[in-house]
């Protein structure tokens, strides 16, 4: 029998029980483009002083050589997570000469489609990563892949798992945890539009991004396009949306159903991709001609995750060891913040994710998935318009009314988190989000447009000014020598680790790829 949110909250009330909320685990992966002082994409290779992108635990690249991905460890404190992310930024800035980290999710001035793909060395797994990116560029074009964001990884501490098992009358094992995480994911997909409204920070973009692509954006000024009520164009039709995946329904009702629907996407040939060819004139254009090449190509706001070994497929890890954490993928870089995110946002993400975990979570369906995508696009394009409605089941509901209801429930969770940690930081963060629902002009997306108007600058100059300010701030407070020494050692070790991987390859690339693309049996 489903357990209500109120029953969960009752079980967590009181000093002995609320203490189980201490030690929530979170980690951040933050993408940023390296750009020149002119605002153009950097053409330089990944700096050797940053180590090997294949093996460094904190500094890698995403789609492009110029798209850094800065990664924290798992942290059980908000402040520790932000300090670590700040330290990584400081180290990077000390080793990229006069380049900048672009402060916005939407990219800088892009001169054509010639965007350098991420390079990970000559090992089989390194070449697989590059071919995968070549496939993304071939399928969707490289411009979309230069969009950057923040991935927020979240997991539950053991004391809280014990309380949940007691309340739900379940046996605390990996199956219990995996099922609970899938319940969280289902609810997150239903309500993630709220995060896009609250934290969306890409209401405008540079005209160089769209080029000849059809769009419905309006002209903000000579160099910028926007939509008046937009929140996060990154999460909309010009961002991480795929026409090929439009009819794809990935079920999150259980690990078995998730694996089965994902397997279908990974094995179903897609005619348009078959026409592109996999290997042409001796060069790989993509890993395969299936609807998605590997699991990461499925564009969703959240993913079930498990740490993987070198060369291991994510689906294999999930099937064998269950869900370990969830990865939230709908967070824009906030250009007003030096590392793109702050403590208040992290605290609300924790509160919101606990709401998703503790609330009843009915099964999903193909019909509901289509409705959720429609809601997401509505908030992306018109989220700040006061007359905008979403679909809650078959009924229309205003964004403000639905958000107010969700935030009221989140308020009880924020109070429990403050009881557990002491102080009022979680409730203060919750109040900030409640104010943004009452007044859309307080949202980051509205503030960006207001700043562009006040400063009379296009999107490019707005983002460049913030990027320069952040660079100066980091360079004005250099790393502590012991921390710098640690990062220098990590860089050297990562380069050595890459060489070891390359030296230990025992099969040719074609054979490796055939084996790598094989899928595990369903659980």
Q: Evaluate whether residue 53 is within a structural domain.
A: yes
For 201-223, b where at least 16 C-beta lie within 10 A, e where not — what string?
bbbbbbbbbeeeeeeebeebbeb
What percent of the chain stands above pLDDT 70? 98
- Is residue 238 in some structural domain? yes
Residue 49 domain flag? yes
Residue 521 lies inside a defined structural domain of this protein: no
CATH of the domain at 175: 3.30.590.20
* pLDDT of 241: 64
- Condensed to tens digits (0 to 9), the pLDDT of residues 450-496 reads 999 999 999 999 999 999 999 999 999 999 999 999 999 999 999 99
Confirm if 376 and 196 have CB atoms less than 8 A apart: yes
Please count the other Cβ atoms lying within 10 Å of the Cβ belonging to residue 139: 19
Residue 353, domain extent: 5-516
Mean pLDDT for the chain? Answer: 94
Nearest residue to 332 (alpha-carbon basis) of 234, 403, 241: 234
For residues 393 and 397, give the distance between their C-alpha atoms in angstroms, rounded to a whole number. 10
Is 80 exceeded by the pLDDT of residue 98?
A: yes
- The model's pLDDT over 365-397, given as tens digits with 9 standing for 90+, comes to 999 999 999 999 999 999 999 999 999 988 999
- Is position 257 within any domain? yes
Q: Is the pLDDT of residue 159 over 70?
A: yes
Average of pLDDT values for 148-177? 96
Q: Assess whether pLDDT exceeds 70 at residue 278.
A: yes
pLDDT at 2: 81
What integer is the mean pLDDT of 287-292?
95
> 10 Å Cβ neighbour count for 251?
19
DSSP 312-373: --HHHHHHHH---EEEEEEEPP-TTSTTS--HHHHHHHHHHHHHHHHS------HHHHHHHH
User: 388, 398 in Cβ contact below 8 A?
Assistant: yes
Question: Could you tell me the pLDDT band of residue 143, with boundaries at 50, 70 and 90?
Answer: confident
Supply the pTM of this predicted model.
0.97
Q: Is residue 149 assigned to a domain? A: yes
3-class secondary-structure state, position 431? helix
Q: Has residue 243 got a pLDDT over 80?
A: no
* C-alpha to C-alpha distance for 106 and 144, rounded to whole angstroms: 9
Nearest CA to 347 out of 14, 17, 6, 24 is that of: 24
For residue 240, name the pLDDT band (cuts at 50, 70, 90): low
* pLDDT: which is higher, 182 or 237: 182
**Which residues does 381 contact at the CB level (< 8 Å), separation at least 6?**
216, 227, 229, 230, 236
Domain assignment present for 522: no
Q: Which residue has the higher pLDDT, 230 or 310?
A: 230
Q: Give dist(CA 215, CA 164) in Å, integer.
A: 47
Q: 120-140 pLDDT, tens per residue? A: 999 999 999 999 999 999 998
Give the total number of structural domains in the chain.
1
pLDDT above 60 (res 523): no
Sign of CA dihedral 165, 167, 170, 171: positive
The answer to which of 111-115, 226-230, 407-411 has the lowest mean pLDDT is 111-115
Q: Residue 47: what pLDDT?
A: 97
Q: Is residue 45 part of a domain?
A: yes
């Amino acid at each position: 029998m489903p357990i209500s949110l109120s029953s969960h909250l009752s079980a967590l009330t009181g000093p002995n029980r609320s203490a189980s909320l201490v030690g929530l685990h979170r980690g951040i992966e933050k993408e940023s483009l390296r750009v020149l002082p002119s605002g153009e994409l950097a053409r330089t290779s990944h700096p050797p002083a940053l180590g090997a992108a294949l093996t460094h635990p904190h500094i890698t690249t995403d789609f492009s050589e110029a798209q850094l991905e800065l990664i924290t460890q798992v942290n059980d404190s908000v402040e520790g997570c932000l300090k670590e992310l700040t330290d990584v930024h400081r180290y990077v800035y000390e080793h990229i000469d006069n380049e900048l980290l672009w402060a916005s999710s939407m990219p800088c001035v892009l001169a054509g489609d010639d965007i350098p793909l991420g390079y990970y060395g000559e090992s089989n797994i390194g070449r697989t990563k590059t071919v995968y990116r070549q496939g993304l560029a071939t399928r969707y074009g490289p411009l979309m892949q230069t969009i950057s964001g923040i991935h927020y990884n979240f997991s539950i501490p053991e004391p809280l798992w014990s309380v949940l098992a007691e309340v739900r009358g379940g046996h605390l094992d990996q199956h219990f945890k995996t099922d609970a995480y899938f319940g969280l994911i289902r609810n997150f997909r239903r309500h993630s539009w709220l995060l896009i409204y609250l934290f969306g920070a890409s209401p405008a973009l540079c005209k160089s991004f769209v080029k000849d692509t059809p769009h419905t954006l309006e002209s903000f000024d000579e160099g910028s396009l926007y939509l008046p009520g937009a929140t996060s164009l990154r999460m909309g039709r010009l961002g991480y949306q795929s026409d090929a995946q439009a009819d794809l329904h990935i079920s999150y009702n259980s690990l078995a159903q998730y694996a089965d629907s994902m397997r279908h996407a990974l094995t179903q040939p897609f005619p348009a991709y078959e026409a592109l060819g996999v290997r042409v004139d001796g060069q790989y254009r993509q890993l395969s001609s299936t609807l998605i090449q590997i699991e990461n190509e499925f564009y969703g706001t959240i993913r079930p995750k498990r740490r993987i070994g070198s060369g291991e497929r994510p689906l294999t890890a999930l099937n064998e060891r269950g869900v370990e954490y969830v990865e939230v993928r709908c967070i824009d870089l906030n250009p007003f913040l030096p590392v793109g995110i702050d403590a208040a946002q992290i605290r609300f993400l924790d509160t919101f994710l606990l709401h998703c975990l503790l609330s009843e979570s009915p099964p999903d369906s193909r019909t509901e998935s289509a409705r959720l995508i429609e809601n997401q696009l509505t908030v992306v394009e018109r989220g700040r318009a006061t007359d905008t409605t979403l679909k809650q089941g078959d009924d229309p509901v205003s964004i403000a009314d639905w958000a107010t209801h969700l935030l009221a429930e989140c308020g009880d969770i924020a109070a429990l988190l403050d009881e557990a940690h002491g102080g009022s930081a979680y409730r203060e963060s919750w109040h900030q989000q409640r104010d943004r629902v009452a007044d859309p002009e307080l949202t980051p997306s509205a503030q960006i447009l207001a700043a562009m108007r006040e400063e009379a600058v296009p999107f490019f100059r707005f983002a460049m000014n913030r990027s320069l300010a952040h660079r100066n701030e980091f360079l004005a407070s250099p790393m502590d020598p012991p921390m710098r020494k640690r990062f220098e050692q990590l860089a050297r070790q990562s380069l050595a680790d890459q060489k070891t991987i390359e030296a230990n390859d025992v099969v040719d690339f074609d054979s490796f790829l055939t084996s790598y693309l094989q899928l595990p049996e369903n659980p």
